[in-house]
A and B are shown apart, each in its own frame.
Chain A
Amino acid sequence: MSATDVNQALLRDLKANGADFFVSVPCKLLGGFISTLEQDNEITYRAVNREEEGLGICTGAWLAGRKPVIVMQNTGVGTLITSLCSLGLYYRLPFLMVISHRGSPGEPIGAQVPMGTAVETLLQTINIPTYMFSDPSDTKKVGQLVPFTDVAEGPVAAILDYDFWGAR
């Protein structure tokens, strides 16, 4: 599957499962996916400055009946932990985080590795259901996490590595 195909397949499967409101903070692994989001007229997509801001905007949208997805790099999890706890978990807000995994094998920048190594444990420590994906043919499984947020009654994380994005 080409990189373009995985971006289109991922958005198709997220939409097919009800996602209709997206925010993102950029990542080089997400560049193609963000372009795909920008070009889709059936969804609401906004770029935001920071992950917490995105969580706030998604909360407002969910309160108005939308099904939000936060698209972000794993480094953003570090700044998001408090708000994930005191907003996402306290009010049990069912939204999906689609997280690119910098600092995993394929990573050329050493500074990315410490957070890349910590991210899964950080999310598990605050009891966010967290799933790792490496296979680009798994877009359907990632999409199925959208309704799973309602089953889990709270935030859910999908961490997608270099292999998923066809980036190494």
Chain B
Amino acid sequence: MRRYELLKSITPLLTDEEFVICNLGFPSQELYSLRDSDNHFYMLGSMGLSSSIGLGLSMEIDNTVIAIDGDGSVLMNLGTLSTIALEDCKNFILFIVDNGSYGSTGDQPTHTAKGTSLAAIAKAAGIDSSVEVAGADAADKLAQCMKTPGPHVIVAKVEPGSQAMNPIPLTSLAIRDRFREAVKAAQAKT
């Protein structure tokens, strides 16, 4: 199972009640091709910040926020795991696709391929609900986390590799504005 198949296994869980921050180009293109929504913020640059954007959003809304992140990206912004722990947002899920590689740059191995455990780091940072699962079990775990108070960190172990995709045919401002409107509509409901 690669990231594409993993994302395919979790997209049936998504409704327009959740808000998703998605990390970088390849994962965002894969998610876009599987399921697009105004509730998806495709973060196409700023590697490492999907988790922090998700945290800032989850502080402000009641809906479930899922930040889809990568192992290489989380390794670049480990400090935010401690902030996620301190903030203790019940509606926040950090879903880390851990394929042990820098997928966008030619699948060079990350340190998780050589023994670093992001789930153990997250737990030590103070996020009690931090777990590593096989990619095949990740959808069940995510479904469970969506029903229980977080914050949750799910580290889904998969094989390296990306699905060939076209760029997302949306401008950055279109991604931004439709997402912001969707958040506003969700806030108006509560």
- Give chain A's interface residues, CB within 8 Å of chain B: 44, 46, 48-50, 52-66, 82-83, 85-87, 90-93
Interface of B (DSSP majority class): helix
Residues of B within 8 A of A91 (CB): 172-173, 175-176
Q: Known interface pairs A64-B183, A65-B183, A82-B46. Does A53 touch B57 (Cβ–Cβ under 8 Å)? A: no
Partner of A87, one of B45, B57, B173: B45
Is B79 among interface residues, defined by CB-CB distance under 8 A?
A: yes
Please determine whether B49 and A61 come into contact, CB atoms closer than 8 angstroms: no
Please determine whether A44 and B59 come into contact, CB atoms closer than 8 angstroms: yes
Please determine whether B83 and A48 come into contact, CB atoms closer than 8 angstroms: yes
User: What is the number of residues of chain B that contact chain A, defined by CB distance less than 8 Å?
Assistant: 35
For B41, B49, B58, B80, the residue with the greatest tally of chain A CB atoms inside 10 Å of its CB is B49
Q: How far is the CA of A141 from the CA of B74 in the complex (A)?
A: 38
Given A54-B52, A60-B54, A60-B58, 6 more A-B residue pairs with CB atoms under 8 Å apart are A49-B80, A53-B77, A56-B50, A86-B44, A87-B49, A90-B172
Please determine whether A86 and B45 come into contact, CB atoms closer than 8 angstroms: yes
- Identify the closest chain A residue to B46 (Cβ): A87
Partner of B173, one of A61, A63, A82, A92: A92
Smallest CB–CB gap between A156 and chain B, Å? 17
